[in-house]
């Protein structure tokens, strides 16, 4: 199996689970950051690694051919909304061109199936909530557009060329191993451990859906297993989320309460722009057609995540290391 984006948050949980299930895993790695959970956990020593970029067409074809790849989990992408605003061309290059390069290589190398990571952001801003898989894709901002395009391209390869591919659209992932403290949950936990007020970039009333990372990894595996057995799933998209309508300020306050710091109030900056105000998912299709259901609801997922960060920071080389990491500020 080939996993792109293997050293990211999701890949760092998916790859070990594939290995535990006996899969022979090949990881496409662009930047093997030592801070990645996959790297620090020693998992790169247990799999084959190919160094390079999704947009290297020859590398993608050679990797799939030489390793006789059967299944691809395409997780590789530029995943940060803020970075997409700053560098829209780089984001489109990675997320759109990278996706068609991978799918074309898979088609030419007769790969059996491809699972493509998307996002609830692919739906864009819609008057109809929760999002359902047959809703139109209405991306307007750079990151959202990149995901809308990648999904349409994936569906095109399935419908036109018979490539057995399917799309995963998750709510915001969270869990241990995410060291990007610009994201809300790791940023809020880090700020609380520092005993600092967390900075909420928006007015705090933006609504998002979430999914614990281990449940997300299980969702990908579940879809791959079902797609292998049922060709009618090719070209389909599936939502995976908790179906939450949670405001950012409510989530931060929940984290503060769980960490025993309810008096440490967040600071609302109210300077966010060009972001969708309300997003949450209907995951009924995944439940009925795939038999998937999340094992960790929000409180249990947050408890596991908080425990992971407490242990992570406790294991840092010096007390100053906590302050050395960049501060969190998010939605």
Domain co-membership, 225 together with 324: no
Average pLDDT over residues 160-185: 96
Q: Supply the pLDDT for residue 82.
A: 87
| pTM tops 0.95, yes or no | no
| Omega of the bond leading into 130 within 30 degrees of 0 (cis) | yes
Burial of 146 (0-12, 13-18, 19+ CB in 10 A): buried
Q: Given pLDDT bands bounded at 50, 70 and 90, which one contains residue 31?
A: confident
**Higher local confidence (pLDDT), 235 or 32:** 235
Domain co-membership, 112 together with 182: no
Domain co-membership, 24 together with 93: yes
Q: Supply the pLDDT for residue 32.
A: 65
Domain co-membership, 32 together with 139: yes
Domain co-membership, 187 together with 107: no
Domain assignment of residue 18, yes or no: yes
Domain co-membership, 191 together with 113: no
Q: Supply the pLDDT for residue 326.
A: 45
Q: How many domains, in total, are found in the chain?
A: 2
Domain co-membership, 114 together with 193: no
Domain assignment of residue 218, yes or no: yes
Domain co-membership, 40 together with 112: yes
Average pLDDT over residues 93-103: 97
Residue 23 in tokens: 């899969």
Domain co-membership, 168 together with 120: yes
Average pLDDT over residues 6-11: 95
Average pLDDT over residues 143-154: 97
Mean pLDDT of the chain: 92
Domain assignment of residue 288, yes or no: no
What amino acid positions are annotated as catalytic residues?
143
**Residue 194 CB neighbours (<10 A):** 16
Q: Supply the pLDDT for residue 140.
A: 94
Please report how many Cα atoms fall inside a 13 Å half-sphere around the Cα of residue 178, on the Cβ side. Answer: 28
137 within 8 A of 131, measured Cβ to Cβ: no
Domain co-membership, 114 together with 182: no
The range of the structural domain enclosing residue 272 comes to 176-207+244-278+296-330
Q: Supply the pLDDT for residue 64.
A: 98
Domain assignment of residue 29, yes or no: yes
- Distance from CA of residue 190 to its chain's centroid? 20
Domain assignment of residue 169, yes or no: yes
**111-115, 139-143, 179-183, 313-317, range with the lowest pLDDT:** 313-317
Q: What is the CATH number of the domain that holds 97?
A: 3.40.50.720
Q: What is the CATH number of the domain that holds 312?
A: 3.90.25.10
Q: Supply the pLDDT for residue 317.
A: 46
283 vs 114, 211, 293, CA distance in Å? 21, 11, 9
Domain assignment of residue 291, yes or no: no
Q: Tell me the C-alpha distance between 75 and 78, whole Å.
A: 10
Q: DSSP states of 15-39 as a string?
A: HHHHHHTT---EEEES---TTSHHH
Average pLDDT over residues 121-138: 94
Q: Supply the pLDDT for residue 195.
A: 94
pLDDT at 67 over 60: yes
Domain assignment of residue 217, yes or no: yes
Q: Supply the pLDDT for residue 324.
A: 39
pLDDT tens for residues 251-276? 999 999 999 999 999 999 888 777 88
Domain assignment of residue 283, yes or no: no
Domain co-membership, 264 together with 317: yes
Average pLDDT over residues 40-50: 92
Strands of the sheet with 237-240, listed across from one edge: 48-51, 26-29, 2-4, 71-74, 113-117, 165-170, 237-240
Domain co-membership, 203 together with 213: no
**Beta 71-74 vs 207-208: how paired, if at all?**
unpaired
């Amino acid at each position: 199996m080939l996993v792109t984006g293997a050293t990211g948050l999701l890949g760092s949980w998916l790859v070990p689970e594939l290995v535990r299930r006996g899969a022979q895993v090949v990881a496409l790695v662009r930047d093997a950051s030592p801070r990645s959970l996959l790297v620090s956990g020693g998992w790169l020593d247990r799999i084959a690694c190919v160094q390079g970029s999704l947009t290297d067409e020859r590398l993608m074809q050679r990797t799939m051919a030489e390793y006789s790849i059967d299944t691809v989990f395409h997780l590789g992408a530029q995943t940060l909304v803020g970075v997409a605003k700053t560098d829209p061309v780089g984001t489109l290059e990675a997320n759109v061109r990278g996706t068609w390069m991978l799918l074309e290589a898979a088609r030419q190398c007769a790969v059996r199936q491809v699972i493509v990571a998307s996002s609830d952001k692919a739906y864009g801003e819609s008057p109809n909530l929760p999002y359902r898989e047959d809703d139109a894709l209405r991306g307007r901002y750079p990151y959202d557009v990149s995901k809308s395009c990648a999904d349409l391209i994936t569906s095109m390869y399935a419908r036109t060329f018979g490539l057995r591919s399917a799309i995963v659209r998750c709510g915001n992932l969270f869990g241990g191993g995410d060291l990007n403290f610009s994201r809300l949950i790791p940023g809020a936990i880090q700020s609380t451990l520092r005993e600092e007020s967390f900075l909420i970039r928006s007015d705090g009333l933006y609504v998002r859906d979430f999914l614990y990372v281990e449940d997300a990894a299980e969702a990908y595996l579940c879809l791959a297993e079902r797609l292998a057995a049922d060709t009618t799933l090719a070209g389909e998209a599936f939502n995976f989320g908790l179906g939450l309508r949670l405001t950012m300020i409510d989530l931060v306050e929940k984290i503060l309460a769980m960490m025993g710091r309810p008096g440490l109030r967040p600071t609302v900056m109210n300077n966010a722009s060009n972001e969708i105000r309300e997003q949450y998912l209907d995951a009924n299709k995944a439940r009925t057609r795939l038999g998937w259901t999340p094992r960790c609801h929000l409180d249990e997922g947050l408890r596991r995540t908080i425990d992971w960060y407490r242990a992570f920071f406790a294991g840092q080389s010096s007390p100053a290391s906590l302050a050395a990491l960049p501060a969190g500020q998010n939605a």
